[in-house]
Structure 1
Amino acid sequence: MSDTEDEEIQSKIIKITLVGEPGTGKTSLCNRYLGGSGASGSTHGAEVTAGQCLGLRPPVQVQLCDVAGNTLSTTMLGNYLYASDIIIFVYDLTNLASFEKLNEWVEKVEELYKDETDKPLMAMFGNKSDLEHQRAVRLSSVTAFGADHSLEKFKGSARTGEMVNAAFTTLIARVMGAKVTSLVAPVSQLPVREVPERENQPQEEASKLIMNRAALRQVQKKESTSVCVVH
C-alpha cells in the first residue's frame, strides 16, 4: 500500500451508529470497544465518542454515535443517523421485547434511507451473551430476522468484552474493503497470564513484560509488581 493510500485511510472517519431499545447496552458496547469497562448510564438524545480501530492496519478513525432508545418515534432519529457508514441494531438476548421491537427500528431506518443510493452497512448485535442461561430470544428467530432484512448477525457481551472488538472491526473492514491490508488482534484483546512473584525478590530485579517474539524488553518494576506474559 502506498503512502498516499495510508494517509487516505488514516484521514477517513467511519461513523458507526447504534440504535435499539433502552437498556440493551448500546452505551456499554461503545465504552467497551473504546477500551473502557463496559459500564454506563442512560443516554439522552445521542452521545458521540471518537477513537481508533486498532484491529486494522493501518488504524482507522472511528466515530461512535450512541442513540437513546426513546428516539424511535421522534423526528431527530434521521439527524442522528446522518452520514452513518454502519448502523448496528442492538437487542438484549435476555429480553424478548427488545428483540421484537427491532422490527420497528429496522422499518424506520429503512424508510429514512429508501431514497438514498449510498446506504450504510447494517448489522444486528445480541448483547449480554454472558447471561446465556437467561436467554429469551430463540436463535432461529434471530437467523430468520437477519435473513429477512439482510443483516449481518453478531452476539457478545459488553460486560465481558466477548466479540465486541471482533464485531466492530469486521464491520469496519467491510466498509473499508480492499483498502485495509490486514486484520489483527490488538494487544489489549490478547490473553494475559499472571505469574506469581517469587518470595524475597530483590527490589532492583527487573520484571519482564513479553509482548511477542518480535519485541522483548525488560521493564524495571517495584517489588509489588507482578510479571505478565502476553502470548
Structure 2
Amino acid sequence: MSDSDDEEAQCRTVKITIVGEPSTGKSSLCYRYLGGSGVPGSGTQGAEVMAGQCLGLRPSVPLQLCDVAGNALATHMLANYLYASDIILFVYDLTNLQSFEKLSVWITRVKEILENEVKKPLMALFGNKSDLEHQRAVRLSCVQKFASEHLLESFKGSARTGEMVTHAFTSLVGRVLGVKARRLPPLMINGKSPLPKDKELNGHTPISLQGEPAQSLIMNRKTLRKVQRKASSTVCAVQ
C-alpha cells in the first residue's frame, strides 16, 4: 500500500460494535478507550453510539463505537446495530463463567445476520475485569480453545484500570486498515519519556513514575522494575 493509499484508508471512519452479556463492562470499555474514567453512569438501553479517534495510529483514525445492550441478542434490532461494522468485539467477564459461555450464542447469531454480507467484519474477544484476576471463573485454556475454534483474536484487560484497552482497540483498527502496530520504547531517555506529552492517550497515562522526580538514564533495579510494570499497558503507534 502506497503512502497516499494508506492516508486515504485511515481517513475513513472505522465502526467498532461491542456486544456481549449484560454487566460485562462493555460501556466501561468504550468510555475508558475514549479517555473517560471507564465508569459510565448507568446500563445501556438499546445501543449507544460514540464518536472518537484512534490516536495510536498516525494519522489518527476517526472511530464510531456502537455499544450494544446485553439484552439486544433477543431483539430484531441487533441486525441494525451490526450494520456496516468493521470490527465486532465480543466482551465477557473473566469473573462470570455464564457471560463467557453465552458468547457461543452471540457468535452464532451474529454470523447468521452477517451471512450474506460480502465483506465480513473482523471479530475478536475481550476478557474484561482482569483487575479481579483472583476471582477468575473462566479458564484460560477454555478461552484459547474457543478463540481457536471461531478464529478470533483474544485480548484480556480491564476497563477499570485501562490495562490493554488501548492496545486491543488500536491493534484491531490497525488490522482493518492494513497497518502494523508496534510497541513504543518503555524506558525513559535522558529523564524524558519517549511517549507523547499528552497527559492521557485514550485513557492510558503515558509511562512515567507519578509522584516521583524524572529519572535519569541510569536507574536502580527497583526503579527499573517499576517503570517496566508501568509499561504493561501498551500504547501503540504505526510502524
When the two structures are superposed, what TM-score results if normalisation uses the length of structure 2? 0.77
**Deviation per CA, 1:76-110, whole angstroms, max 9, x where unpaired?**
00000000000000000000010011010000001
C-alpha change, 1:72 and 1:59, in structure 2 (3 Å) is same
Q: Which residue identity does 1:30 align to in structure 2?
A: C
Structure 2: how far apart are the matches of 1:94 and 1:196? 34
Structure 2: how far apart are the matches of 1:109 and 1:42? 22
SS in 1 for 2:74: coil
Structure 1: how far apart are the matches of 2:110 and 2:76? 12
- Unmatched 5+ stretches in structure 2: 185-194, 216-230, 232-239
What's the counterpart of residue 201 of structure 1? none
**Deviation per CA, 1:170-191, whole angstroms, max 9, x where unpaired?**
00000000xx376566642322
CA contact (8 A) 1:20 1:69 kept: yes
What's the counterpart of residue 139 of structure 2? 138
The Cα shift of 1:7 comes to 4.9
Structure 2: how far apart are the matches of 1:38 and 1:14? 21
What's the counterpart of residue 168 of structure 1? 169
What's the counterpart of residue 27 of structure 2? 27
SS in 2 for 1:117: coil
C-alpha change, 1:196 and 1:156, in structure 2 (3 Å) is closer
C-alpha change, 1:172 and 1:184, in structure 2 (3 Å) is same
What's the counterpart of residue 160 of structure 2? 159
CA contact (8 A) 2:10 2:177 kept: no
C-alpha change, 1:107 and 1:2, in structure 2 (3 Å) is closer
When the two structures are superposed, what TM-score results if normalisation uses the length of structure 1? 0.79
- Unmatched 5+ stretches in structure 1: 198-208, 211-230
C-alpha change, 1:138 and 1:182, in structure 2 (3 Å) is closer
What's the counterpart of residue 191 of structure 1? 207
Structure 1: how far apart are the matches of 2:51 and 2:147? 28
Structure 2: how far apart are the matches of 1:69 and 1:196? 42
Structure 2: how far apart are the matches of 1:154 and 1:194? 27
Q: Which residue identity does 2:75 align to in structure 1?
A: T
Task: Extract structure 1 runs of 4+ deviating beyond 6 A.
Answer: none
SS in 1 for 2:39: coil
CA contact (8 A) 2:7 2:59 kept: no
Structure 2: how far apart are the matches of 1:73 and 1:20? 12
RMSD of equivalent CA atoms: 2.3
Structure 1: how far apart are the matches of 2:181 and 2:36? 24
The Cα shift of 1:9 comes to 3.5
C-alpha change, 1:59 and 1:97, in structure 2 (3 Å) is same
**Deviation per CA, 1:110-146, whole angstroms, max 9, x where unpaired?**
1111122210000000000000000000111101111
Number of residue pairs the alignment of both structures matches: 199
Structure 1: how far apart are the matches of 2:181 and 2:139? 34
The Cα shift of 1:194 comes to 3.4
Amino-acid identity (%):
63
**Deviation per CA, 1:21-40, whole angstroms, max 9, x where unpaired?**
00000000000000111001
Structure 2: how far apart are the matches of 1:184 and 1:196? 24
SS in 2 for 1:56: coil
Structure 2: how far apart are the matches of 1:119 and 1:149? 14
Q: Is the radius of gyration larger for structure 1 or structure 2?
A: 1
